[in-house]
Amino acid sequence: MRKIETISVRPVNVPLARPIRTAVGHLPAAALVLIDIRSSDGILGSAYLFAYKASMLKPLVATVEAVASEIIGHGADPFPVSQRLELSFRLLGRQGLVALAMSGIDMALWDIAALAQELPLARLLGGVTLPIQAYDSFGIIDIEADRAEIERSIRRGFRGIKIKIGGGAVEDDVARVRAVREIIGSSVALMVDYNQSLDPAEACRRIEQIRAFDLTWVEEPVPAEDLVGHHHVRATTGMRIQTGENWTFPEQMEKAIRAGASDYAMPDVQKIGGVTGWIKAAALAEAAQLPVSSHVFAEASAHLLAVTPTAHWLEWMDKAGPLLQEPLTVAQDGTVTARGPGLGIAWDEKAVARFAA
């Protein structure tokens, strides 16, 4: 039986080519934790986690190492490991950094499983690697400074653009949304993301001011845990609401579905429980007929959307590309196709050393 021999955890801080400004904070770099698991038969599985803040790298590394200590020497099959960790952390609770650690370990174990068969993860899961339509994801834009970059995205083939709004006056939201719609034209999808910055009443007020711009969705207008609030905004405005990137494990997704919190689902692979959690989430979405989009993690998401029956959009926000020997790319038609074998993640060790935190 293949066993877990070692688990390596390394923090890096990678400057973003396009720093992300949101209504609730600014991200100049991608604070990532790299996870490498070596199995007893010599296979190296890799994955990464996004800590959001550089100050969270140290505690996230420590948490991953603590969770990893529970499984070293045990079998490397993902499902039994997931069950073991669920039981091991039931008293403490599976949330916060523990949830991220469990998800990252799960992704690396699935990478090992696919590498052992010399298959892309999507093939191991019973699917095929196929092109997934991607949208280019921006922060809060400066209309003049970012115009050329948005135009470049359209020339690259993207058929969808997302911008972040909120944090200022509603007139600023309207100006940004109007400007982007004028730049991209009527045939390109436009999404907006409030990053949980509003209360339900204010969300309804602001959405009324931007609804004329043919939005594909409004993302997380209110705090993620406010399922009633999301339902209220959805019912009051009639706008299509997107949420899900902050669901922790499929159980929270199920609660959101029951609450009628959104028209779409956007699970985040590092919060939903890794590949194992995503598989369950995809089944829930299919049963509820919810279109599923990904949240960052393009390398893993390209595989997982390929085996998701209600796959919708892949979010393109390249965080790990500078660390990879072969970064994932966007095709001329704005699609992304998963790479293998495994997750298609192989570190450029010189780059890892350069960005070590």
Contact 269, 245 (CB under 8 A): no
pTM of the model: 0.97
pLDDT of residue 262: 98
pLDDT of residue 150: 98
| Residue 101: strand, helix, or coil | helix
Q: Does residue 112 carry a pLDDT above 90? A: yes
216-266: pLDDT as tens digits: 999 999 999 999 999 999 999 999 999 999 999 999 999 999 999 999 999
Structural domain contains residue 233: yes
Query: Is 271 buried (19+), middle (13-18) or exposed (0-12) by CB count in 10 A?
Result: buried
pLDDT of residue 151: 98
Q: Are residues 104 and 247 in the same domain?
A: no
Structural domain contains residue 200: yes
pLDDT of residue 81: 98
Q: Are residues 197 and 84 in the same domain?
A: no
The domain of 104 spans 4-119
Percentage of the residues of the chain whose pLDDT score is greater than 70: 100
Confidence of residue 338 (pLDDT cuts 50, 70, 90): very high
Last residue of a domain, one of 99, 119, 139: 119
Q: Are residues 161 and 293 in the same domain?
A: yes
Could you say which of 164, 232, 271, 312 is catalytic?
164
Structural domain contains residue 13: yes
Q: Are residues 295 and 319 in the same domain?
A: yes
For the chain, the residue count is: 357
Q: Are residues 92 and 157 in the same domain?
A: no
Q: Is 295 a catalytic residue?
A: yes
Q: Are residues 106 and 169 in the same domain?
A: no
Last residue of a domain, one of 119, 136, 160: 119
Q: Are residues 132 and 279 in the same domain?
A: yes
Could you say which of 230, 295, 303, 312 is catalytic?
295
Q: Are residues 86 and 193 in the same domain?
A: no
Q: Does residue 333 carry a pLDDT above 90? A: yes
283-328: pLDDT as tens digits: 999 999 999 999 999 999 999 999 999 999 999 999 999 999 999 9
Q: Please give the tally of structural domains in the chain.
A: 2
- Residue 345's identity, in one-letter code, is I
pLDDT of residue 196: 97
- Residue 115's identity, in one-letter code, is L
Structural domain contains residue 337: yes
Percentage of the residues of the chain whose pLDDT score is greater than 90: 97
Structural domain contains residue 357: no
What is the C-alpha to C-alpha distance for residues 3 and 268, in angstroms, rounded to an integer? 27
CATH number of residue 66's parent domain: 3.30.390.10
Structural domain contains residue 92: yes
pLDDT of residue 340: 94
- H runs (alpha helix) in the chain: 57-68, 78-88, 96-116, 121-124, 143-155, 170-184, 200-210, 227-237, 249-259, 274-288, 298-305, 349-354
Average pLDDT across the chain, whole number: 97
Q: Is the peptide bond before 19 cis (omega within 30 degrees of 0)?
A: no
CATH number of residue 309's parent domain: 3.20.20.120
Q: Are residues 154 and 234 in the same domain?
A: yes
Structural domain contains residue 356: no
Q: Is 162 a catalytic residue?
A: no
| Residue 215: strand, helix, or coil | coil
Structural domain contains residue 316: yes
Q: Are residues 143 and 86 in the same domain?
A: no
17-74: pLDDT as tens digits: 899 989 888 899 999 999 999 999 999 999 999 999 999 999 999 999 999 999 999 9
Beta strands at 132-137 and 335-336: parallel, antiparallel or unpaired:
antiparallel
Q: Does residue 162 carry a pLDDT above 90? A: yes
198-220: pLDDT as tens digits: 999 999 999 999 999 999 999 99
pLDDT of residue 25: 85
What is the C-alpha to C-alpha distance for residues 102 and 113, in angstroms, rounded to an integer? 17
Nearby residues of 93 by Cβ (< 8 Å), 6 or more positions away: none
Q: Are residues 114 and 137 in the same domain?
A: no
Q: Are residues 242 and 328 in the same domain?
A: yes
Averaged pLDDT for residues 116-125:
98
Last residue of a domain, one of 69, 90, 119: 119
